[in-house]
Structure 1
């Protein structure tokens, strides 16, 4: 029986969600990112006027971009000022992570109508196994893998029906190859790769297309003349071990030959949940107290919503700051009882702030809930003293 592992990746997920909201932007270069300070403006005639990259000033980064924007070289993680130089006429939309998470839940629920379990790898991608599904081992006409291809196509259609969004699916004997091939025919791709296809379909690709080869490793491989996956497959395994260490060097050889025996992981119980935001400008606890207070409260409310949605409660709360010199400061405390209440989280997070140096401006603020337990398993704990009357920084 041939093993079939699928990797499903939503196509330009955040941007595609926004195009559902603003269908008049279809076919245009669109970039999502830079916070939430540039919403579309409704004109007197009912039409919407959108911000353009050329008018952006700040240090925000692109969260994602449509394929039309990617054609100009704009990609996720690029600074918006740099993106503006590449595609000044591109539309700039604010991020809406609450909506992206809602759509993420919808597409995963649609997949779970067809498979028993998913290996959840993030907001827009999952793995799942099709090996034992009825028809997965069948040929269809001249296609020896037509059965599993048909199952994957039905899952694509189910995702489209549930969300209005398209996805791409890679099918192969393992996670490593499926991750690569889900990206080969985007958007709406359905790519099947077996061991017999590795030389023709995988080896010509750049080495960095292997998940696990980062920028530093790729630069080192490039300096050795190993630019494609095929180059890596042909390299002396012992030489790779000498240059990259036994573990990583051996893995490079295995990955280049498409070998990967990792099982799918279905245990996704989080140890902690966090919410954070990066500001458009550096803020100060004293001079920007009102703005920070509202942001801080909203982060705690969203964190509480996340806990309730996952059916868990927290015993510890932490706060994270990234200062204007990029140093990260964290503080954490343990509460006297488990909670998913926003007000309780806000109060204890404020106590963490009382223990933090707040003389410098900072660019990032985050709140974390830890020591999680299923809500129905949490033991009743005596309530602690009321700390809400303490004067907090914001």
Structure 2
């Protein structure tokens, strides 16, 4: 077996599973998580008819996730809830509780770290784990050359279940690319282990789109060329791929099809920016909904400031993002003379960005971003920009519209 062992751990239908953990009486039913938790659910656990159904939803929200029963009906994450309602009208609709999801995410990662501390965090519900130096990883038996890797994967899976009560799936292979692919092969609750010798049998029959990084456009091009499996992709001359997809992408596709990936497990990654954004339930008018927009805008700036403080960061480039009712997206940046993590300064600078956008259409999405980041303790003390002083609430929004 390769002397490198990497696991990709992916929680099974994470948000839905957390909700079902607290509501076991909904297990076995199609459940969709989407929208926001504005007030406690007032539903009777003994009377399922009192629970909100997808058919009654009206709005533009999207599904955050769905239980496997709902997925069997065609519902998937990022699908519009109105479209999901047409596919699964009787599905239970639960609002998302991100605070609880973050708490459970922290818990499962802590459980994994007690066994294998070299972890690359890839989001709230997935991680890469370097198992190379974990004792027993390369143990083998006469009947199973991958026995140690398999046992270690099952041990990690059980640790997650003991800590959270939740199920996860793992791919355990010599590299990140294969492990990411394999963690999805035996969901839910699977542990898929393979070595480079297994690629032809387990990986090559799969469609190229199963490789993380081969998107819809690339899949279409490959389909048009008659390439319908990873094995067929592996058989293509690298020169053809380079001519078709460019030097970098073509060469990468050739390596990926053969299961080759030398990327390390990265335990720390410096963020390039910190941002918050929200999509409104209805399109908002810059003048008629000025107070509503102002409150949302202030909240976004305060959340970004809190995120910066939590990570010990400051930034100098403040960005604003607007998406209009025709789905056109506009972004603007404003550079400050000094680093900041102050909500009032962020809001003032984002307001300067706003002045450079023509607000003739209703607004669908609003976002605030802080970039050009640095560690707070690495920046010498500098005076805050004078025009950024004041509480966020005291700073006007859309002030030039009256």
**If the length of structure 2 is used for normalisation, what is the TM-score?**
0.89
- Give yes or no for contact 1:38–1:51 (8 Å, CA) kept in 2: no
Name the counterpart of 2:209.
208
- Give yes or no for contact 2:325–2:363 (8 Å, CA) kept in 1: yes
1:343–1:245 distance in 2 versus 1, CA, 3 Å: closer
Q: How does 1:218-297 map to 2 (within 5 A)?
A: 218-297=219-298
Shift of 1:337: 4.3
Structure 2 residue 397 is the aligned partner of structure 1 residue 392 = yes
Structure 1 unaligned blocks of 5 or more: none
Name the counterpart of 2:74.
73
Three-state SS of the structure 2 residue aligned to 1:191 is: strand
- Give yes or no for contact 2:8–2:171 (8 Å, CA) kept in 1: yes
Name the counterpart of 2:177.
176
Name the counterpart of 1:192.
193
Three-state SS of the structure 2 residue aligned to 1:144 is: coil
Structure 2 unaligned blocks of 5 or more: none
1:111–1:10 distance in 2 versus 1, CA, 3 Å: same
Distance 2:302 2:165 in 1: 29
Question: What are the superposed Cα offsets for residues 273-307 of structure 1, whole Å, 9 maximum, x if unpaired?
Answer: 10111112211121112322222222223222322
Q: How does 1:1-394 map to 2 (within 5 A)?
A: 2-36=3-37, 40-42=41-43, 49-140=50-141, 142-335=143-336, 337-385=338-386, 387=388, 388=390, 389-393=394-398
Distance 2:335 2:246 in 1: 40
Distance 2:40 2:207 in 1: 38
Shift of 1:229: 1.4
| Higher alpha-carbon deviation: 379-388 or 76-85 | 379-388
- Give yes or no for contact 2:344–2:395 (8 Å, CA) kept in 1: no
Shift of 1:26: 1.7
1:7–1:209 distance in 2 versus 1, CA, 3 Å: same
| Higher alpha-carbon deviation: 208-217 or 88-97 | 88-97
Q: CA RMSD in A?
A: 2.6
- Give yes or no for contact 1:112–1:118 (8 Å, CA) kept in 2: yes
1:98–1:338 distance in 2 versus 1, CA, 3 Å: farther
1:250–1:314 distance in 2 versus 1, CA, 3 Å: closer
1:199–1:38 distance in 2 versus 1, CA, 3 Å: farther
1:137–1:377 distance in 2 versus 1, CA, 3 Å: same
Distance 1:15 1:164 in 2: 13
Distance 1:161 1:238 in 2: 50
Shift of 1:88: 0.8
Distance 1:127 1:192 in 2: 14
1:23–1:386 distance in 2 versus 1, CA, 3 Å: farther
Shift of 1:327: 2.2
Distance 1:385 1:343 in 2: 11
Shift of 1:78: 1.8
- Give yes or no for contact 1:53–1:87 (8 Å, CA) kept in 2: yes
| Higher alpha-carbon deviation: 382-391 or 206-215 | 382-391
- Give yes or no for contact 1:38–1:92 (8 Å, CA) kept in 2: no
Three-state SS of the structure 1 residue aligned to 2:279 is: strand
- Give yes or no for contact 2:348–2:395 (8 Å, CA) kept in 1: no
Three-state SS of the structure 1 residue aligned to 2:253 is: helix
| Higher alpha-carbon deviation: 105-114 or 268-277 | 105-114
Three-state SS of the structure 2 residue aligned to 1:16 is: helix
Q: How many equivalent pairs are there?
A: 394
Distance 1:342 1:177 in 2: 43
